[in-house]
Structure 1
């Protein structure tokens, strides 16, 4: 009985002992500089979540397309092989072009007539009134040709270039947005895909850029010449014009690397095994999923491209 009492007391004493409290370890947190521009991680394991890409300058290229149509065909005249016929898809433009050709002939005739009348006046065989009449006829023809030339130019055609266009050529007119105009220039080679020939590519060259921007659509007309030796391409056909423009070397970063705060753009650069720094950058145009960086980075900077929003929260306190 005595032994039983001793064992019971021992068990009660053990049960009454206070259980040890579990030790709670604090989770290490990154250290943030006072201005938020530098983030230092407690170990290199934590920083692995922020994958980086090296910033490097490389050749960039602008690729975009625009709808167009064959607005005219240039062929040789059957009656006079040295002359060119321009067949427009709009009858009104054909009338304008024909009128211009006639005005050119008339102007030459009126200039000759004016010289003749002036010579007659100098010899007393013509009056001042006849000279004025000859001058008026010439002025009327010169005014008329200006009006018809303006109509053609609004449609994307230059009358002088039409007269010099190579035979067996089609002229495609397309419109591009104003914000793409800076990368377009006369002589640029482009690729065309015609609805009538979906599996073929045709090469063309820009030979005219209009002098004005449409006030409503903010579009600029281009004229593109395309060789058409077999005559398969016809006036009125629709096409898609593809422009590929090399713009030299530039530094670019992934658009996922960029954060914008209060109108300013930033990226995060890993500068050490456990350190990431915030950099203000000046950005240019976007090219697909890349953005041109005009300032703020140097070659081979390790720019963070994953989990950037977490860094934004740490850096700016969001």
Structure 2
């Protein structure tokens, strides 16, 4: 009886297992990422809800405005010609340009005198029209050559005429600031500089010149800052941090939690549609509490992701 009952129970269990339906395998939808990793599209609105956003908004904040720079030149008095300035650049090519400019000036004066002399000779029948044309050509060549060398110095942040008037025993620091900070900067503005070689000292300077153009790639503009250097401690090539004082105004800010950094570049993720996110490269300013200033890369009221940002980083960059 016991054996018969056991057989019956085993048969019942086998039949029960056959009749029990297997659970269906459900595939979990995944976000779609563009080839370059810039755009991420989610399959449904429920999935994107995990990535909360906040608008990028302007705030009235006080911030220290600083920029990196370097001592690009030293100005000394020439021992041979006290009226002239001896300028020592950290870039030998700029030294060549400045020397060429000085030589062109001498040549232009010489060629102008020569042209006046030849014209006078022609007026008295002692020179031909061909000689006048040759003298005019030589003068024009020198004038064209000096324009080329002056343009090279301008691109590096130097005004050749200002160099000739610069005070001896002065260093000239060149730094770059973002285009959108130009409104708070003007010629003659005082600033404070610190140097890695003298970490416990502050040096006072003033903005000597603001360049005439903005770099098309970096959207930065060069400033030249003059700093008195009577004891000669500051040398060409030294690195500096230039502090422009405290400025107050409206700056576009985002939460610090929104920022990820990859290989030295800062990024945020912007919600561009109901189920779409876009990676955006940004240039950041100073941080105040949990907010950070955005100098470039965002527009006001764009929706910036502030939660689960590391997941988006992994999707975007593939890790």
Per the normalisation by structure 2, the TM-score is: 0.59
Given that 1:73 and 1:235 are in contact with CA atoms closer than 8 Å, whether structure 2 keeps it comes out as yes
The structure that has the greater radius of gyration is 1
Given that 1:183 and 1:245 are in contact with CA atoms closer than 8 Å, whether structure 2 keeps it comes out as no
Output the CA distance in 2 between the equivalents of 1:140 and 1:182.
39
Identify the residue that residue 174 of structure 2 maps to in structure 1. Answer: 173
Identify the residue that residue 83 of structure 1 maps to in structure 2. Answer: 84
Identify the residue that residue 206 of structure 1 maps to in structure 2. Answer: 207
Sort the Cα spacing of 1:221 and 1:215 in 2 relative to 1 into closer, same or farther, 3 A. same
Q: Point out where structure 1 has 5 or more consecutive residues left out of the alignment.
A: 1-57, 257-285, 291-318
Residue 184 in 1 paired to residue 185 in 2?
Answer: yes
Given that 2:203 and 2:227 are in contact with CA atoms closer than 8 Å, whether structure 1 keeps it comes out as yes
Identify the residue that residue 302 of structure 1 maps to in structure 2. Answer: none
Output the CA distance in 1 between the equivalents of 2:180 and 2:287.
14
SS of the residue 2:168 aligns to: coil
Output the CA distance in 2 between the equivalents of 1:166 and 1:84.
8
Equivalenced residue count is 204
CA shift for structure 1 position 76: 1.1
Output the CA distance in 2 between the equivalents of 1:245 and 1:101.
40
Identify the residue that residue 45 of structure 1 maps to in structure 2. Answer: none
Compute the RMSD of aligned alpha carbons: 2.7
Sort the Cα spacing of 1:229 and 1:129 in 2 relative to 1 into closer, same or farther, 3 A. same
SS of the residue 1:151 aligns to: helix
Output the CA distance in 2 between the equivalents of 1:95 and 1:213.
25
CA shift for structure 1 position 154: 0.1
Residue 222 in 1 paired to residue 223 in 2?
Answer: yes
Identify the residue that residue 117 of structure 1 maps to in structure 2. Answer: 118
Given that 1:189 and 1:205 are in contact with CA atoms closer than 8 Å, whether structure 2 keeps it comes out as yes
SS of the residue 1:112 aligns to: helix
Per the normalisation by structure 1, the TM-score is: 0.59
Given that 1:61 and 1:244 are in contact with CA atoms closer than 8 Å, whether structure 2 keeps it comes out as no
Identify the residue that residue 258 of structure 2 maps to in structure 1. Answer: none
Given that 2:73 and 2:172 are in contact with CA atoms closer than 8 Å, whether structure 1 keeps it comes out as yes
Pairing of 1:239-318 with structure 2 (within 5 A)? 239-244=240-245, 288=288
Given that 2:65 and 2:247 are in contact with CA atoms closer than 8 Å, whether structure 1 keeps it comes out as no
CA shift for structure 1 position 82: 2.9
CA shift for structure 1 position 87: 0.1
Output the CA distance in 2 between the equivalents of 1:74 and 1:124.
49
Residue 238 in 1 paired to residue 239 in 2?
Answer: yes
Given that 2:175 and 2:222 are in contact with CA atoms closer than 8 Å, whether structure 1 keeps it comes out as yes
CA shift for structure 1 position 80: 2.5
Identify the residue that residue 145 of structure 2 maps to in structure 1. Answer: 144
Pairing of 1:21-32 with structure 2 (within 5 A)? none
CA shift for structure 1 position 238: 0.3
Output the CA distance in 2 between the equivalents of 1:204 and 1:149.
25
Pairing of 1:66-81 with structure 2 (within 5 A)? 66-81=67-82
Q: Deviations over 1:113-166 (max 9, x none)?
A: 111111111111110000000000000000000000000000000000000000
Output the CA distance in 1 between the equivalents of 2:287 and 2:129.
68
Output the CA distance in 1 between the equivalents of 2:189 and 2:119.
49
Residue 194 in 1 paired to residue 188 in 2?
Answer: no
Sort the Cα spacing of 1:114 and 1:215 in 2 relative to 1 into closer, same or farther, 3 A. same
Given that 1:191 and 1:201 are in contact with CA atoms closer than 8 Å, whether structure 2 keeps it comes out as yes
Given that 1:176 and 1:219 are in contact with CA atoms closer than 8 Å, whether structure 2 keeps it comes out as yes
Q: Runs in 1 of length 4+ with deviation above 4 angstroms? A: 286-290
Identify the residue that residue 64 of structure 1 maps to in structure 2. Answer: 65
